[in-house]
């Protein structure tokens, strides 16, 4: 993504965009109707799953919008009115810029030093919230508006422009906003892949009363505001939310709904985003209240862990500084939040900076590359206190303590091993007339993937260093 604030520096661009911008119109008759505008047809509903009771909620639904400054959302009538129906989390922050690392963080508990929106496949030995949920048989799904087929792994997809019939096909779906698909531990397992569904399926699953217990919802590129404005988002919310909030197959008195943004638009200030907790799990005495606790996207993981007594990922989801549990839940489970206080002004803030990008070393930063490390086994998450480690493929000897120093792969003309579609990829998007699923900037070759940690990861790592060492570039 490109911050819209940068576009504002180029006076001509908004004029051009203004000329093609179409006003909001719904993609379907109602949020519970099917529509050809969603591209992929409904493909049957999910099976009805047993409900695993949580301490405060039995269903957690996240709806993520795009790139909007806190003040811009706060000044909008729709958000003001929604605020009266729930709890405002006034100090909820995104974790970095741009978009993709924020989505990656919400699934895997880290953004892996990612500083761009390119095509990545995070290796299969890196666990996600899906492993935690499935460890307790908690059902889940990711509903992506305009996903062309269930489990589509392409970089993006363009389909008929339903807002302007005379305009060319429009890129409504992008992979970078689909958090769980970024991880091979999810995408390489067919039953997990099939849980990436579109809005025809969302309607079908609500109508069949089979909405799972953990749900991620990504509206398309116009409805989430990425290509449009906060007013367009508001129109979409006015269309979409009341019907669903009113439907007990979606929102019952054990449903907690997080309405948030991936990031703000202004990189020069803290990354505070307008965030609400809605849904029947919010007791009436807490409606129209504000919770000033410092939260981040990692709080979505710690809250779910605390609610269902799940292990942590041993990543930032278990870092007490950045993963406070929503008070609604912490008050019941007894989890003690930190008492960091702050404002949007960093000089008087105890909050860590959330607007930094590209400065971190990690497996998805080519200029400061460090391989994926094992989870931190001593971490104490907000759930049952244990750390989830995949049954195989994790080398515990490649960890935070033993991590090699960062290497500048860019200087070696290399990309990170996780870049690009999988070499053996099941990239179902490469066919079809309206498909537009080209990869990101860099293509990963399997021969470049030797630095990933694995059962023999440490050995592989030394072999890898041996190869890289021909041109090794160390960073201090």
Ligand X SMILES: *[C@@H]1O[C@H](CO)[C@@H](O)[C@H](O)[C@H]1NC(C)=O
- Least separation, in Å, of the C-beta of 365 and ligand X? 9
The per-residue DSSP string of 410-472 comes to GGGT---TTBSS-TT---GGGSSTTB-----S----GGGGGGS--TTHHHHHHHHHHHHGGG-
When the beta carbons of 6 and 377 are compared against ligand X, the nearer one is: 377
Interface ranges with ligand X (CB under 6 A): 25-29, 35-37, 40-41, 43, 84, 87, 149-150, 162, 194, 242-243, 246, 252-253, 267-270, 286, 288, 291, 319, 321-322, 327-328, 331, 336, 338-339, 346, 352-353, 355-356, 367-368, 377, 396-397, 399, 401-402, 408, 410-413, 471, 475
Nearest to 174 by CA among 111, 223, 128, 211: 223
- Least separation, in Å, of the C-beta of 154 and ligand X? 12
Residue 67, number of CB atoms within 10 A of its CB:
26
When the beta carbons of 47 and 268 are compared against ligand X, the nearer one is: 268
Nearest to 157 by CA among 142, 166, 167, 147: 147
Handedness of CA 127, 151, 29, 33 (dihedral sign): negative
Query: HSE (CB half, 13 Å, CA atoms) of 383?
Result: 26
Residues 33, 37, 41, 47, Cα dihedral to 10° = -50
Q: Tell me whether residue 342 is exposed, middle or buried, using C-beta atoms within 10 angstroms of its C-beta: 0 to 12, 13 to 18, 19 or more.
A: middle
Query: HSE (CB half, 13 Å, CA atoms) of 275?
Result: 29
CA-based angle 153:107:202, to the nearest 5?
A: 60
Element (H, E) at 88: strand 87-93
Peptide bond into 98 cis (omega under 30): yes
Cβ proximity of 172 and 222 under 8 Å: yes
- Least separation, in Å, of the C-beta of 72 and ligand X? 16
- Residue 191 CA to its chain's centroid (Å): 20
- Least separation, in Å, of the C-beta of 12 and ligand X? 25
When the beta carbons of 15 and 202 are compared against ligand X, the nearer one is: 202
Dist. CA 353–CA 358, nearest whole Å: 13
Dist. CA 65–CA 7, nearest whole Å: 19
Handedness of CA 83, 197, 66, 354 (dihedral sign): positive
Fill in the DSSP letter of residue 176: G
- Least separation, in Å, of the C-beta of 402 and ligand X? 3
- Least separation, in Å, of the C-beta of 1 and ligand X? 16
Q: Tell me whether residue 177 is exposed, middle or buried, using C-beta atoms within 10 angstroms of its C-beta: 0 to 12, 13 to 18, 19 or more.
A: buried
In the annotation, is 227 catalytic?
Answer: yes
Residue 161, number of CB atoms within 10 A of its CB:
18
Which of 72, 227, 262, 291 is the catalytic position? 227
Query: Which strands sit side by side in the sheet containing 87-93, from one edge to the other?
Result: 196-197, 140-144, 214-218, 59-65, 255-261, 276-278, 87-93, 289-296
* Active site (catalytic) residues: 227
């Amino acid at each position: 993504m490109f911050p819209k604030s940068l576009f504002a520096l180029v006076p001509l661009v908004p004029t051009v965009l203004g000329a093609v911008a179409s006003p909001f119109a719904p993609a379907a008759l109602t949020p519970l109707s099917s529509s050809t505008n969603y591209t992929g047809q409904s493909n049957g509903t999910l099976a009805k799953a047993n409900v695993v009771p949580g301490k405060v909620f039995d269903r957690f639904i996240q709806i993520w919008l795009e790139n909007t400054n806190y003040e811009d959302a706060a000044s909008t009538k729709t958000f003001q009115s929604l605020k009266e129906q729930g709890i405002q989390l006034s100090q909820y922050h995104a974790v970095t810029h741009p978009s993709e690392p924020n989505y990656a963080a919400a699934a895997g508990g880290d953004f892996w030093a990612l500083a761009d929106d390119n095509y990545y496949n995070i290796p299969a030995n890196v666990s996600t919230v899906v492993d935690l949920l499935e460890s307790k048989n908690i059902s889940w799904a990711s509903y992506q508006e305009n996903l062309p087929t269930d489990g589509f792994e392409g970089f993006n997809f363009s389909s008929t422009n339903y807002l302007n019939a005379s305009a060319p096909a429009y890129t409504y779906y992008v992979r970078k906003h689909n958090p769980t698909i970024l991880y091979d531990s999810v995408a390489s397992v067919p039953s997990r892949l099939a849980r990436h569904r579109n809005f025809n399926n969302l309607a079908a699953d609500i109508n069949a009363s089979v909405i799972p217990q953990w749900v991620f919802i990504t509206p398309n590129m116009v409805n989430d505001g990425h290509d449009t404005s906060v007013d367009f988002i508001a129109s979409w919310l006015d269309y979409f939310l009341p019907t669903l909030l009113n439907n007990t197959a979606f929102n019952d008195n054990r449903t907690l709904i997080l309405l948030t943004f991936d990031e703000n638009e202004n990189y020069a200030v803290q990354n505070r985003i307008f965030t609400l907790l809605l849904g029947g799990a919010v007791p009436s005495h807490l409606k129209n209240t504000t919770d000033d606790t410092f939260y981040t996207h990692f709080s979505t993981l710690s809250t779910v862990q605390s609610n269902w007594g799940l292990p942590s990922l041993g990543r930032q989801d278990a870092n007490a500084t950045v993963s406070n549990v929503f008070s609604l839940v912490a008050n019941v489970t007894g989890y003690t939040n930190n008492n960091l206080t702050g404002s949007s002004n960093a000089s008087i803030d105890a909050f860590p900076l959330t607007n930094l990008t590209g400065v971190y070393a990690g497996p998805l930063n080519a200029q400061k590359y460090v391989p994926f490390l094992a989870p931190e086994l001593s971490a104490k998450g907000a759930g049952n206190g244990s750390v989830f480690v995949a049954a195989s493929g994790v080398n515990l000897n490649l960890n935070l303590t033993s991590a090699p120093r960062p290497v500048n792969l860019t200087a070696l003309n290399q990309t990170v091993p996780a870049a690009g579609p999988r070499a053996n990829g099941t990239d179902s998007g490469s066919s079809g007339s309206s498909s537009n699923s080209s990869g990101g900037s860099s293509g990963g070759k399997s021969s470049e993937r030797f630095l990933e940690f694995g059962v023999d990861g440490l050995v592989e790592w030394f072999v890898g260093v041996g190869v890289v060492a021909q041109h090794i570039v160390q960073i201090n």
